[in-house]
């Protein structure tokens, strides 16, 4: 039973990592100056945040199944993503997009670290 549960969690985690990768590419391109419409940026932000939350939950579940504890240290990234989403929801003007770009630029290193962590985890799950 535990093996079935673990296999399901691993499968779901791999799907979330793929979603994180896809949305990170959009956000990274936006940071690099690609002119996405606000709806695309907002959708990618929301999906990235939601997927990160689910992926974190799956990581916690995997560790709990093995009787281990883990700390998920990216609460401040969640806050930054919330600020960016709130800013976009207020207005889709060029000025607001610049603010969102600035918020994301300040969080870029954290997003890269999170993605690196999940890519390494993906590698270990698929081997």
Domain boundaries, the chain: 2-126
Higher pLDDT, 71 or 33: 33
pLDDT at 92: 67
How would residue 39 be classed by pLDDT, with cut points 50, 70 and 90?
Answer: confident
**30 Cβ contact list (under 8 Å, min separation 6):** 36, 41, 44, 101, 104
| Architecture (CATH level 2) of domain 2-126 | Up-down Bundle (1.20)
Locate 104 and state its tokens.
């994301």
Is the pLDDT assigned to residue 105 strictly greater than 80? Answer: yes
Helix, strand or coil, per DSSP, at residue 118: helix
Q: What is the pTM of this model?
A: 0.92
Give pLDDT tens digits for 58-73.
Answer: 999 999 988 888 888 8
**CA pair distance 117, 55, nearest whole angstrom:** 11
């Amino acid at each position: 039973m535990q093996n079935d549960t673990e296999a399901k969690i691993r499968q779901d985690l791999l799907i979330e990592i793929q979603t994180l990768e896809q949305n990170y590419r959009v956000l990274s391109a936006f940071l690099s100056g690609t002119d996405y419409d606000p709806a695309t940026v907002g959708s990618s932000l929301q999906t990235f945040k939601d997927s990160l939350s689910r992926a974190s939950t799956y990581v916690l579940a995997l560790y709990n199944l093995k009787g281990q504890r883990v700390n998920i240290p990216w609460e401040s990234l969640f806050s930054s993503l919330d600020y960016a989403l709130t800013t976009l929801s207020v207005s889709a003007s060029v000025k607001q997009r610049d603010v969102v770009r600035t918020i994301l630029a300040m969080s870029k290193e954290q997003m890269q670290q999170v993605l690196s962590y999940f890519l390494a985890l993906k590698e270990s799950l698929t081997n």
